[in-house]
Structure 1
Amino acid sequence: MDLKPLLIALVSAALLHAPAHAEPPEAAQQAQAREASSDEGQPDLFGRATHQVQGVMNSGLQYLGIPYRFGGSSAETGFDCSGLVRRIFSDALGLNLPRSAREMASMGKQVGRNELKPGDLVFFNTMRRTFSHVGIYLGDDRFLHSPSAGGRVRVDNLNEAYWQRTFNGARRLIGGEAAANSIR
């Protein structure tokens, strides 16, 4: 499968929502620390959330094309859906998320499909049980995920019939109260 058209579409969508310069995850974390200590100890929550989302997106894009592996949690051996999400949030934000999509679905703040923002977790009923699949919303109805056996980490559209039919909900872990409630 040729990933080039998909990668072009993904980068275009990401650039629409990104600042003029993209920072690697380490730089985003350093910027977060600087912002948290600025403004006389009062962090700019919007600025911190924006940097966190950018960090998540930068981290996630590096895994495009990595093969699916049930129980997988590394780029070397492959990822399952929750392993991918867990790795991205750990790399970008230092968050230690639970191992399963079902456990992740209880974290953060619940958001409706029409309220989705880049960095939100999106959940699906793909195995005849709720919250059996998870991905990360990128914007423009696109999400990053590790689909299933034989697949690779890729970007799909929430408007595709399968994803519309199986959509279970979304959670926000980045920004304001959602971030404080996401770490338990």
Structure 2
Amino acid sequence: MVNSFRHVIFLACITVALGGCASSGSMQPDQSAQPRQLPPAAIEESGKAQKLWQVFERYRGAPYEYGGTSSDGFDCSGFILTAYQEGLGKQLPRTTSQMLASGDVVHPGEIQPGDVVFFRIGGKEQHAGIYMGGDRFIHASTSTGVSQSSISGYYWKGRLTQARRFD
């Protein structure tokens, strides 16, 4: 009984921690969306990716904070907004739902470093990150703050729904 209760508590904590950014907006998901794999050399050759990695390194480990847009705390869209502003000099919409409504749709096989990737969590697209190539994306996670993750990792696999390019 105690182990069962601990298991339920553990699952509840994981669900809350990995809940992602809350955002409204409903786009039709493409559950088959998987980015093409780039070799590590391709990541290094992308000037856009290099600039975004520099911003990531500056904020790596910053805590998650709903509505946050600074090193004191970021939510997922706040981190993307800041990374694009600081790394690329570009202004993006503030929320994931606004990002989903703008930018250019990128077909799954054409995702490139710097594209914003969206994930379905809890029945709606409410988490986003920046694809960096080589199966990696950077984001502000509720459980680990600003970090990098594998799109094909345990939690994220099958949740990628679409990508947008903001050139």
TM-score by length of 2: 0.69
Task: Kindly indicate whether residue 150 of structure 2 is the aligned counterpart of residue 157 of structure 1.
Answer: yes
User: C-alpha separation between the residues in 1 aligned to 2:107 and 2:116?
Assistant: 11
Task: Please name the residue that 2:133 is paired with.
Answer: 139
Structure number having the greater helix percentage: 1
Pairing 1:4-19 to 2, within 5 Å after superposition: 17-19=43-45
Pairing 1:31-180 to 2, within 5 Å after superposition: 50-75=46-71, 77-130=72-125, 132-148=126-142, 150-173=143-166, 179=167
Structure number having the greater strand percentage: 2
Q: Does the CA contact (< 8 Å) of 1:67 and 1:78 recur in 2?
A: yes
Q: CA deviation at 1:128?
A: 2.0
Q: CA deviation at 1:104?
A: 0.8
The AA in structure 1 aligned to 2:108 is R
Q: CA deviation at 1:51?
A: 3.2
Q: CA deviation at 1:125?
A: 1.2
The AA in structure 2 aligned to 1:165 is G
User: C-alpha separation between the residues in 2 aligned to 1:81 and 1:169?
Assistant: 16
User: C-alpha separation between the residues in 2 aligned to 1:53 and 1:106?
Assistant: 23
Q: Does the CA contact (< 8 Å) of 1:14 and 1:138 recur in 2?
A: no
5+ residue gaps, structure 1: 1-12, 20-49, 174-178, 180-184
Larger RCO (CA under 8 A, 6+ residues apart): 2
Q: CA deviation at 1:134?
A: 0.6
The AA in structure 1 aligned to 2:155 is Y
5+ residue gaps, structure 2: 1-38
The AA in structure 2 aligned to 1:172 is R
Q: CA deviation at 1:109?
A: 1.6
User: C-alpha separation between the residues in 2 aligned to 1:139 and 1:84?
Assistant: 18
Percent identical: 34
Q: CA deviation at 1:14?
A: 6.1
What is the number of residues matched between the two proteins?
A: 129
Cα root mean square deviation, aligned:
1.9
